[in-house]
Amino acid sequence: MNVAEIKKVAKKKKSSVVKRARQALVRRKTNSAVKSKMRKVVKKVKTDSPKPELLSLAYSEIDKAARKGTIHKRTAARQKSRLARAAAKK
């Protein structure tokens, strides 16, 4: 649902429904940005030669995503574990 659709719904629905739709839109954009940033760093670590500073940056991004609630904490732990194994193989 985009802003135009929210405004259209606003004429028919209660204000609480409109507010929730607006909040969902903002959350979706935020979560999408956080996940995208995390994926970019993880991909960089997997494709490039293993550098400790890149691995540290990837861990940091994964932890930030988990802290913000974008991904679950166990998902974050699993991703970090797989990343460490992939880096150790190289």
Domains of the chain (ranges, CATH numbers): 3-89 (1.20.58.110)
Phi, psi of 62 (to 5 degrees): -65, -45
Cα–Cα distances (Å) from 60 to 10, 20, 67, 75, 82, in that order, read 40, 30, 10, 14, 15
Q: What is the pLDDT of residues 8-21, one digit of tens each?
A: 766 666 778 888 88
- CA dist., res. 90 & res. 71, Å (int): 27
Q: What is the pLDDT of residues 20-50, one digit of tens each?
A: 888 999 999 999 999 999 999 999 988 887 7
